[in-house]
């Protein structure tokens, strides 16, 4: 069963698209552009060239063939001639020799993308040393032509910040009208939104499926049902959650009233990933809007659903500026954040989460981060085998494994392990690939993610994992059959890094303490699930898991219940979305105290005198009151203090 095909080894040690000679050419070309120095490695020493397939994946076959030709030339030219060719490339910039300019653009683009953009063995090092962030800045120290290259390659990457600023101006101007609608009116609009989503669901499913590759059932459940369910939660509960609250008032403040009011924050920026593009637009927009905010939504550049969200909101009766959509990549997201929204609600990877948080810190914009996961499933020996296997498959493969809360690691108690794996392999082999209603698993959405799956698989196999299913995957196709792996360990990337693909690595464990340690042995802490028959044991274990969400004898149901808060522990995020915490998270929680319009002068106001100090001291001691005697002591201290304060206050400070 072990699969160590040349294809997968090539993925870690070489390329599925380019020959060893062409890779040599790439390193030589790369060294021409990025020779290193100043503490930076040269291109070849950085190891960035090994990431070439991540770019090649997304290329048109003809462009790949052209690049191969260029790399062959770079491999065969003697070094002085290669240096001459690079010089000619640079002159072509000035001479306007179009074919040469294009060749230069392609060569430099590939080299810079690999060297600065990808986390190769030395790639992270390069970016970290430079403190450079591809998504935020295009200026690289010592590389003045980079900005021009980026503009040449993709003119739309040159961010028009005036347009972004205008979007935020409109949102800010519109927000008071949203607040003035009042909650009942806003909830009525959200109810209409639910009706429109339901009526147009076939169209939405088709668009989502077309842009993501997900199967119809994944789209129906994850993008339509979940959206409707969340709108229903708001309809039923938002009024109670956002209602003014009476709060306790301490005895020392007798006669006053304490309240909390939940008011809109203003303008919310929502930045979304590509895995649930419709849900991740409508749900945050709806919650933020229910709380009275205007929203600017920046979808992923991979799944923009261009025009769809606006059209659905408009049909539900939303004015255009209440929730606007800004399209573009990370630079556009960063430009939106630079407009200092009143809050950033960000969903995406840990790497981008760190970047946006750094940018938000400069502006003191509050952030909520919903980041990646590496969810463990813990199966004890007394678990119901059939249910646990079915749950494991769904939890790992739903949305083609591209859910932040996918099961990414499965730990099974040794006595159950063999039977669990046998049944899992048998059932997984029967799952079907495709996008129709009779299919179980759709295809992957982005070439980058396919490359990560390929790398994780190759890494696991090279380190001794056993692959049981999905053996016919060619390592390139976005239709990845579900892959069950055993003989895995925590040295493998597939057990440590988010794979975000249809993987299910299964590992045996011998004791409760061991499985808790393994489950927590990660930087992630999004969610987890524990399965078995001993309720006390499951709860004991669930309490020890350092995660934001845990399901017992099921998976992802915490996320499915919109009354519950959702969010991550450790590096999986900051803040809580949905439920009471989520709604109030989009509010300015205002503390209010009400006092009477009386002649009373407060004990803690001026003037301070020694007599008052003594009376205040007595009251401070009495304030740790316990029982009736404590209350009497406090009153005995408080009453003389009050009359003294009134007397002193009316007289004012004496000279
Ligand atoms: P990503 O981090 O690459 O991108 C997310 C969004 O951020 C995109 O819209 C992107 O354009 C934007 N962006 C990128 N750089 C930016 C910058 N510098 N400033 C502002 N915006 C920027 O993530 P992705 O690949 O689109 O999504 C997959 C990731 O999202 C996975 O890690 C997954 O676990 C995570 N995710 C988390 C949750 C959750 O609720 N915890 C839900 C879904 C997905």
pLDDT tens track for 475-501: 999 999 999 999 999 999 999 999 999
> CA 70 → CA 96, 103, 116, 153, 594, distances in Å?
20, 8, 21, 18, 76
**Looking at ligand 1, which atom is closest to the CA of residue 298?**
9
For residues 372 and 522, the answer to whether their CB atoms sit within 8 Å is: no
> Exposed (0-12), middle (13-18) or buried (19+): which is 432, by Cβ within 10 Å?
exposed
**Mean pLDDT, all residues of the chain:** 89
Q: Is 330 in the pocket of ligand 1 (CB under 6 A)?
A: yes
Q: Is 325 in the pocket of ligand 1 (CB under 6 A)?
A: no
Nearest to 44 by CA among 100, 102, 126, 105: 126
Q: Is 551 in the pocket of ligand 1 (CB under 6 A)?
A: no
Strand intervals (E) in 137-212: none
Q: Whose CA is nearest to atom 21 of ligand 1?
A: 333
**Looking at ligand 1, which atom is closest to the CA of residue 329?**
11
pLDDT of residue 144: 41
Q: How far is the C-alpha of 193 from the C-alpha of 224, rounded, in Å?
A: 12
HSE toward the beta carbon, residue 165, CA cutoff 13 A = 4
> What would the two tokens of residue 231 be?
């709108």
**Looking at ligand 1, which atom is closest to the CA of residue 446?**
25
Q: Whose CA is nearest to atom 37 of ligand 1?
A: 371
pLDDT of residue 147: 44
Strand intervals (E) in 487-630: 503-509, 527-531, 549-552, 573-574, 587-594
pLDDT in tens, 499-508: 999 999 999 9
Centroid of ligand 1 to alpha carbon of 356 (angstroms): 10
Q: How far is the C-alpha of 139 from the C-alpha of 625, rounded, in Å?
A: 63
Q: Find out whether the peptide bond into 31 is cis, omega within 30 degrees of 0.
A: no
> What would the two tokens of residue 494 be?
């597939």
Q: Is 356 in the pocket of ligand 1 (CB under 6 A)?
A: yes
pLDDT of residue 334: 94
Centroid of ligand 1 to alpha carbon of 299 (angstroms): 9
Q: Is 334 in the pocket of ligand 1 (CB under 6 A)?
A: yes
Residues serving a catalytic function are: 370, 404
* Most confident range, picked from 34-43, 44-53, 106-115, 483-492: 483-492
DSSP state of 224: I
pLDDT in tens, 546-593: 999 999 999 999 999 999 999 999 999 999 999 999 999 999 999 999
Q: Whose CA is nearest to atom 16 of ligand 1?
A: 330
Q: What is the mean pLDDT of residues 315-339?
A: 95
Is a pLDDT exceeding 70 seen at residue 38? no
Which strand (E) or helix (H) includes residue 78? none
**Looking at ligand 1, which atom is closest to the CA of residue 559?**
40
Residue 230: count of CB within 10 angstroms of its CB = 21
**Taken in order 31, 34, 35, 40, is the CA torsion positive or negative?**
negative
For residues 634 and 251, the answer to whether their CB atoms sit within 8 Å is: yes
Block residue for tokens 């408080």:
638
Centroid of ligand 1 to alpha carbon of 348 (angstroms): 2
Centroid of ligand 1 to alpha carbon of 488 (angstroms): 28
Is a pLDDT exceeding 80 seen at residue 159? no
Q: Is 271 in the pocket of ligand 1 (CB under 6 A)?
A: yes
Q: Are strands 245-247 and 257-264 parallel, antiparallel or unpaired?
A: antiparallel
Q: Whose CA is nearest to atom 22 of ligand 1?
A: 330
pLDDT in tens, 411-451: 999 999 999 999 999 999 999 999 999 999 999 999 889 99
HSE toward the beta carbon, residue 409, CA cutoff 13 A = 32
More confident residue, 31 or 261: 261
Q: Where residue 107 falls among pLDDT bands split at 50, 70, 90?
A: confident
Which strand (E) or helix (H) includes residue 486? strand 483-486
Q: How far is the C-alpha of 275 from the C-alpha of 506, rounded, in Å?
A: 24
Q: Is 348 in the pocket of ligand 1 (CB under 6 A)?
A: yes
Centroid of ligand 1 to alpha carbon of 366 (angstroms): 17
Which of 132, 226, 329, 348 gets mutated to test ligand 1 (max ligand atoms within 8 A of its CB)? 348
Q: How far is the C-alpha of 158 from the C-alpha of 179, rounded, in Å?
A: 35
**Looking at ligand 1, which atom is closest to the CA of residue 448?**
25
More confident residue, 80 or 93: 80
Largest pairwise CA distance in the chain: 99
Block residue for tokens 């749900």:
283
Q: Is 301 in the pocket of ligand 1 (CB under 6 A)?
A: yes
For residues 456 and 483, the answer to whether their CB atoms sit within 8 Å is: no
> CA 36 → CA 85, 110, 292, 328, distances in Å?
19, 17, 52, 32
Q: Which residues is 574 bridged to in the sheet?
A: 369
Centroid of ligand 1 to alpha carbon of 273 (angstroms): 4
Q: Whose CA is nearest to atom 24 of ligand 1?
A: 273
Q: How many residues comprise the chain?
A: 655
Q: Is 275 in the pocket of ligand 1 (CB under 6 A)?
A: yes
Q: What is the mean pLDDT of residues 172-176?
A: 98
Nearest to 420 by CA among 515, 504, 480, 533: 504
- If DSSP codes are grouped into helix, strand and coil, which group holds residue 156? helix
Q: Note the pTM of the prediction, 2 decimals.
A: 0.80
Residue 301 CB contacts under 8 Å (≥ 6 apart), including other chains: 327, 328, 329, 330
> CA 573 → CA 358, 376, 476, 525, distances in Å?
14, 17, 31, 8
Q: What is the mean pLDDT of residues 366-385?
A: 98
Question: What is the chain's Cα-based Rg?
Answer: 30
> What would the two tokens of residue 225 be?
């049902």
More confident residue, 17 or 274: 274
Q: How far is the C-alpha of 537 from the C-alpha of 549, rounded, in Å?
A: 17
Nearest to 205 by CA among 194, 195, 193, 216: 216
Pinpoint the alpha helices (H) of 591-626. Answer: 610-622
For residues 305 and 327, the answer to whether their CB atoms sit within 8 Å is: no
Q: Is 357 in the pocket of ligand 1 (CB under 6 A)?
A: no
Distance of CA 649 to the CA centre of its chain: 56
Is a pLDDT exceeding 70 seen at residue 261? yes
Q: How far is the C-alpha of 391 from the C-alpha of 551, rounded, in Å?
A: 11
> CA 151 → CA 146, 154, 215, 407, distances in Å?
9, 5, 36, 40
Centroid of ligand 1 to alpha carbon of 2 (angstroms): 34
pLDDT of residue 10: 34
> Which has the minimum average pLDDT: 109-123, 232-246, 428-442, 507-521?
109-123
Q: Is 448 in the pocket of ligand 1 (CB under 6 A)?
A: no
Q: Is 380 in the pocket of ligand 1 (CB under 6 A)?
A: no
Q: Is 349 in the pocket of ligand 1 (CB under 6 A)?
A: yes
For residues 269 and 337, the answer to whether their CB atoms sit within 8 Å is: yes
Which of 273, 445, 547 gets mutated to test ligand 1 (max ligand atoms within 8 A of its CB)? 273
Q: Whose CA is nearest to atom 26 of ligand 1?
A: 273
Residue 550 backbone dihedrals phi, psi, to 5 degrees: -140, 135
- If DSSP codes are grouped into helix, strand and coil, which group holds residue 507? strand
More confident residue, 648 or 144: 648
Nearest to 238 by CA among 579, 606, 494, 560: 579
Q: What is the mean pLDDT of residues 309-320?
A: 97
């Amino acid at each position: 069963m072990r699969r160590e095909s040349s294809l997968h080894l090539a993925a870690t040690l070489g390329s599925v698209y380019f020959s060893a000679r062409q890779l040599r050419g790439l390193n030589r070309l790369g060294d021409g552009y990025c020779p290193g120095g100043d503490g930076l490695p040269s291109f070849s020493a950085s190891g960035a060239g090994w990431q070439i397939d991540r770019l090649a994946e997304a290329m048109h076959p003809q462009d790949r063939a052209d690049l191969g030709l260029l790399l062959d030339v770079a491999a065969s030219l003697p070094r002085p001639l290669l240096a001459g060719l690079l010089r000619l490339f640079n002159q072509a910039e000035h001479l306007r020799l179009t074919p040469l300019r294009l060749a230069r653009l392609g060569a430099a683009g590939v080299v810079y993308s690999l060297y600065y953009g990808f986390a190769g063995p030395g790639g992270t090092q390069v970016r970290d040393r430079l403190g450079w962030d591809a998504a935020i800045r295009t200026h690289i120290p010592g590389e003045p032509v980079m900005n021009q290259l980026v503009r040449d390659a993709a003119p739309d990457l040159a961010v028009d910040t005036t347009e972004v600023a205008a979007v935020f101006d409109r949102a800010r101007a519109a927000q008071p009208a949203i607040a003035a609608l009042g909650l009942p009116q806003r909830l009525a609009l959200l109810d209409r939104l639910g009706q429109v989503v339901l009526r147009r669901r076939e169209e939405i499913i088709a668009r989502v499926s077309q842009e993501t590759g997900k199967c119809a059932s994944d789209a129906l459940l994850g993008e339509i049902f979940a959206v409707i369910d969340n709108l229903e939660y708001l309809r039923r509960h938002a009024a109670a959650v956002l209602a003014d609250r009476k709060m306790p008032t301490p005895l020392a403040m007798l006669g006053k009233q304490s309240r909390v009011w939940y008011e809109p924050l203003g303008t919310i920026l929502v930045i979304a990933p590509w895995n649930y593009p419709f849900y991740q637009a409508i749900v945050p927009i709806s919650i933020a809007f229910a709380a009275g905010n205007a929203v600017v939504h920046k979808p992923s550049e991979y799944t923009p659903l261009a025009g769809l969200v606006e059209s659905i909101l408009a049909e539900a009766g939303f004015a255009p500026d209440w929730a606007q959509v800004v399209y573009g990549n990370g630079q556009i997201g960063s430009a939106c954040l630079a407009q200092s929204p009143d809050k950033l609600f960000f969903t995406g990877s840990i790497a981008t989460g760190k970047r946006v948080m750094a940018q938000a810190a400069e502006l003191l914009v509050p952030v909520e981060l919903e980041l990646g996961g590496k969810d463990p499933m813990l199966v004890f020996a007394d678990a119901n085998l059939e249910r646990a296997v079915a749950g494991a498959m769904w939890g790992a493969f739903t949305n083609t494994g591209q859910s932040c809360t996918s099961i990414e690691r499965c730990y099974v108690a040794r006595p159950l392990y063999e039977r669990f794996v046998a049944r899992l392999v048998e059932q997984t082999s029967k799952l079907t690939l495709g996008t129709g209603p009779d299919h179980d698993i759709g295809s992957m959405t982005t070439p980058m993610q396919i490359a990560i799956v390929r790398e994780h698989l190759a890494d696991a196999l090279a380190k001794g994992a056993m692959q049981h299913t999905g053996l016919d995957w060619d390592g390139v196709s976005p239709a990845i059959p579900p892959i069950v792996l055993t003989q895995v360990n925590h040295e493998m990337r597939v057990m440590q890094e988010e794979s975000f693909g249809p993987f299910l690595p299964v590992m045996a464990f011998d004791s409760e303490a061991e499985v808790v340690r393994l489950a927590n042995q990660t930087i992630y802490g999004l969610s987890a699930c524990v399965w078995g028959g001993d309720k006390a044991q499951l709860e004991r274990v669930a309490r020890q898991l350092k995660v934001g969400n845990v399901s017992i004898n099921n998976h992802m149901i915490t996320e499915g219940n919109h009354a519950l808060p959702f969010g991550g522990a450790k590096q999986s995020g900051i803040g809580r979305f949905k439920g009471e915490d989520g709604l109030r998270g989009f509010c300015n929680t205002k503390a209010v105290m009400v006092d009477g319009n009386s002649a009373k002068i407060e004990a803690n106001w001026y003037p301070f005198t020694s007599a008052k100090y003594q009376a205040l001291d007595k009251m401070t001691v009495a304030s740790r009151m316990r029982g009736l005697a404590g209350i009497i002591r406090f009153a005995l201290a408080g009453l003389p203090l009050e009359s003294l304060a009134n007397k002193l206050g009316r007289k004012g400070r004496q000279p």
